[in-house]
Amino acid sequence: MKFILNYIRKETWSPYVAGTLLGLVGIAAVWASNSLLGASGAFENIAGLIGKALAPALFDNMYFNFIMPPGITYGVMLVVGLFFGGLVGAASSGTLKWGKKDSANSDEQWKRIFGPQTWKRWLVAFVGAIVLEYAAGIAGGCTSGLAISGGMLLAPSAFLFIMGMFASGIVTALIIYRERY
Amino acid sequence: MTNMIIALVLGVFFGFALNKAGLTKYNKIVNVFRFTDMAVLQFMMTALVVSMSGLYILRALNLVTFPNVPGTYIVGNIVGGLIFGVGMALSGYCPGTCAAGAGEGKMDYIVPGLLGFLTGAVIYGLTYDQVFPAISAIANYGNIVIPDAWNVDPFLFITLFTLISFLLFYLIDRAGWQRKAQ
């Protein structure tokens, strides 16, 4: 019992233990609600919600009316859960960043490569996030909605997506890190 | 309503797993592409081995039915993956890890992260008609799964996938396939 509690308090688990937990969550989603995990779709639902409130004419299109109708969907609830899951996880190891000085630019390795300026981190992260969401739309899902959820059902799309993601991730890292790769 | 509560609870465990695997950190995500820390790959492949075996066993026992399988349209899946990898290496996020990292209180996940995903969602939704129907029409095989498409027994495929995963884990953990960071 003590061993389990101490393990839960650790900041980083073995990827095999954490991966087993994610696998069980993936099974539970199908078993309990006949649904798949996913995160990128939730941002579409919320974007539609905000867009329809602010600029109803612009967002009155095929996509926001029929493909990804706005609303508080299953996916949105998952993402809300993700938020609290991250919070509980960090709280259990005493690594919460709320109100901490380094929370605006949270990674040491990033600062070594790109420099300590917060605006730089925010700019690159913002552009990166746009790229991620757009790419997930084209591919039909993100790492959770396509790679894990599709992969566990043995959909070929998941494995094509994973191959593409690793290929370009490696090339991009090579370009960014150059001699420090 | 019940489904919404289930989603919330599953999301908490999902976010907890992402946090404990370290995937809510920029360095964990980018270092898998540098082969200096393979946790992302180990985490994903473990999750896949567990979930695919579990689901196909449960289905064989008639305890679950599968939801809609994500569609296979070869060019779109690959091109989407290629663009996605660029975003991952730049930001150190996935949509899911960004939400979990935001919960940890990291401002660079809360502000540029969540806003960036919402902005990307708006851009995608407004350009959907010009992009998606065309790219998803190329080599579209519909909602297939590998056992049906290749006419192989799913458990044979899952066994092979599991063995390949274990071999990779062995190579990473024991045979020095993980590079030392400079």
**pLDDT of the residue at A164:** 98
Tokens matching residue A105: 């630019």
Q: Yes or no: say if A46 and B118 are a contact pair by the CB < 8 Å rule.
A: yes
Cβ contacts from A onto B, under 8 A: 531
pLDDT value of residue B177: 79
Residue A179: predicted pLDDT: 86
Distance from CA of A145 to the nearest CA of B (A): 8
pLDDT for the residue numbered A145: 95
Q: Is residue B154 part of a domain?
A: yes
| ipTM of this predicted structure | 0.96
A57 touches chain B (CB under 8 A): no
Identify whether B4 is part of a domain: no
Is residue B104 included in any domain, yes or no?
A: yes
- Tell me if B42 is assigned to some domain: yes
Number of domains in chain B: 1
Contact A125, B67 (CB under 8 A): no
Model pLDDT, residue A1? 84
The low-confidence residues of chain A, meaning pLDDT below 50, are none
B47 CA: distance to closest CA in chain A (Å): 4
Give the model confidence (pLDDT) of A11-28 as tens digits.
999 999 999 999 999 999
* Structural domain includes residue B138: yes
Kindly report the average pLDDT of chain A as a whole number.
96
Closest Cα in chain A, distance from residue B150 (Å): 10
Q: Which domain holds residue B59?
A: 10-173
Per residue in B39-52, pLDDT tens? 999 999 999 999 99
Write the secondary structure of A47-90 as one string of H (helix), E (strand) and C (coil): HHHHHHHHCCCCCCCHHHHHHCCCCCCHHHHHHHHHHHHHHHHH
Residues of B in contact with A105 (CB under 8 A): 108
Residue B156 placed within a domain: yes
| Residues lower than pLDDT 50 in chain B | none
- Cβ of B7 within 8 Å of Cβ of A68? The answer is no
The pLDDT score that the predictor gives to residue B182 is 62
